[in-house]
Amino acid sequence: MSKDMSYAGVMARKPEIMKQAAGLDFSIFESGSIAFDYERMMREAGFSMEEIQKIQLEHGVGNTPVLELRNLTSLARKLAPAGKGARIFIKDEAANASGSFKARRASTAVYQAYKLGYKGVVSATSGNYGAAVASQAAMYGLKCIVVQECYDSRGVGQPEIIEKARKCEALGAEVVQLTVGPELFYSFLTILEETGYFNASLYTPFAIAGIESLGYEIAMQFRERYGKDPDVVMCTNAGGGNLTGTARGLQKAGADSKIVAASVDLSGLHMASDTQFNRKSFTTGHTGFGMPYTTWPDRSDVPRSAARPLRYMDRYLTIHQGEVFYITESLASLEGLEKGPAGNTALTAAFSMAQEMDQDQMIVVQETEYTGAGKHIQPQLSFARSNGIEVKFGDPKDEVPGKNIILPSHPSLIKAQDADLNHMRKSLIKNALENYNVKPTDADLEFLAEETKTDVEYVKSVIASL
């Protein structure tokens, strides 16, 4: 009997398809209510630090250098009050096999697929992770399919996404390019079902565990070179896995660094809107992913996401598109380093935050990514103009996403803004209650306190206010 391949039919089989493709029964970690055993999931389905380092060492991943940005630090100090201007560093993750930190994620995910005997892997991603999965799959001799949300209904694709598709194909992957909207997840599920391949999701415990080595390395490198942990670790935030894995690695090293998230402010633009898809110049690291995934992590392609950033972040900063373009150009012209937009999102926030910190303090941007033809500033700005976006110099605070990109007329105008973490915590609690529709148990209250990095009394007060 043939299977029902309609949208409704495939979605009805989603739990079965996802379980088969993950090689993991998520239900064993469930409580039957809001809470689930996150730490047990990470312990039993993840890897030890020794295992992660061995897997990565053998596959061109990890041990990336830390670089001090002396010229950008000097510029920040010229703009800062007397005695302020922390030293700015980057962890150069472009040195990984596929050119981004996502090689860490892919290394453990693809290893898991190989260990379990899958013949291939499938990844749903706009690009960097797809390239990482393709790279690691090639090393293990596995097939790789990358499902990419690429075009609007006119068949027009963003230069950055098309650039990353080229990289995926160069590394041996088959790339399935789709239009924006529900087509992506439907196609992803049908490919998983038809091929029987492993779901190399960004959000499994295997993938998040792979990033833990990044945080661990940062602590070890700073202690060896400077005798202490960095004061702040700045993480570009989208789906939350980058921040989560890095923070967990820092914790395993016993580091006391503050964890700060950074996203490009794209408020007002809907990420699944066909008409708005090409009116943004950033495909990741923006609030269109960062905010919803922070306030409800379990919206991903696995039953329970291992990326849970609100558990770990101490502060959340937003910056504007024009500011990131400016810092990208500054990094190249002042430091001689060309890097892609994702890591430069965190670098822009770090440049602003460094001016609040003392000169003997250190702030590290925990990732960089490779750059290429579609990721450079000029194609991005040219694409914006072709979509009716005004590009001009001025004060970035006047930027309106989808209408204009304002490059700062002076570096003193680069000012990161604090997002309201308390509002996000309340939103997560509200989302949990609405999604599970149960009377919270004591275990649920404890879980929500951990999820929001607060305490049970805080959770109770939020529930009472709702």
What is the biggest distance separating any 2 CA atoms in the chain, rounded to whole angstroms? 76
Question: Is 374:160 a contact under the CB 8 Å cutoff?
Answer: yes
pLDDT tens column, 292-346: 999 999 998 888 999 999 999 999 999 999 999 999 999 999 999 999 988 999 9
Residue 1 has what pLDDT? Answer: 57
Q: Which segments of 5-127 does DSSP mark as H helices, in order?
A: 7-12, 14-22, 38-45, 49-57, 70-79, 102-116
| % of the chain surpassing 70 pLDDT | 100
- 326, 340, 332: which is closest to 283 by C-alpha? 340
Q: Which two tokens stand for residue 38?
A: 């996150």
pLDDT tens figures, 182-204? 788 889 999 999 999 999 999 99
| pLDDT on residue 372 | 85
| pLDDT > 90? residue 215 | yes
Is there a contact between 178 and 189 (Cβ–Cβ < 8 Å)?
no
Q: Looking at 165-301, which runs of residues are DSSP E strands?
A: 174-179, 198-199, 232-236, 258-264
Q: Which letter does DSSP use for residue 286 in this model?
A: B
Please, what are the domains in the chain? 7-55+100-205 (3.40.50.1100), 61-96+211-418 (3.40.50.1100), 425-465 (no CATH)
Average pLDDT (72-79) is 98
How high is the pLDDT of residue 275? 84
Cα–Cα distance, 144 to 170 (Å, whole number): 12
User: What does the radius of gyration of the chain's CA atoms come to, in whole angstroms?
Assistant: 21
454 vs 119, 422, 459, CA distance in Å? 43, 10, 8
The tokens describing 459, both together, are 């959770």
pLDDT digits (tens, 9 = 90+) for 403-441: 999 999 999 999 999 999 999 999 999 999 999 999 999
Q: How many CB atoms lie within 10 A of CB 180?
A: 20
Residue type, 78: K
pLDDT tens digits for range 222-277:
999 999 999 999 999 999 999 999 999 999 999 999 999 999 999 988 877 888 88
At residue 300, what are phi and psi to the nearest 5 degrees? -95, -165
